[in-house]
Amino acid sequence: MADVNFELVTPEALIFSGPADMVVVPGGEGDFGVLAGHAPLMSTVRPGFVEIHKGNSVERVFVAGGFADVNPSGLTVLAEMAMKPEDVNGAVFDRLIAGAERDVERAAGDVEGANARQRVADLQQMRAQLHV
């Protein structure tokens, strides 16, 4: 099986760059998996875990949202923020939720406000799952 070339990038750093058997992305419309040869696709990325499958191992990276681009060269995820699972805690979600709530207030009645409200809901759900 061929590998998919994958890059995970934040405004601060290149988090991951290399081949993977499969990458699962928390897309705006639901999770989707990308293998080599995947059809071109662009998607928003909701808060969640990107899973990088290589052999029998799976590396997980939390992303706070962003965009995914699948093209003939591979998959690129442009994330607002990314961190290792062990660094994700309630305080991180509190900060992300507060920022998303400020975005809702600034963009109250337009599409950006609706997107921010959805981000708040996604983050609150993930925070609740963290406590389970």
Q: What is residue 91's three-state secondary structure?
A: helix
Give pLDDT tens digits for 78-123: 998 898 888 877 787 788 777 777 777 776 666 666 676 777 777 7
CA distance 78 to 80: 7
Residue 38 DSSP one-character state:
P
CA distance 68 to 94: 25
Half-sphere exposure of 88 (CA within 13 A, CB side): 22
Instruction: Read off the pTM.
Output: 0.78
Give pLDDT tens digits for 15-68: 999 999 999 999 988 999 999 999 999 999 988 899 999 999 999 999 988 999
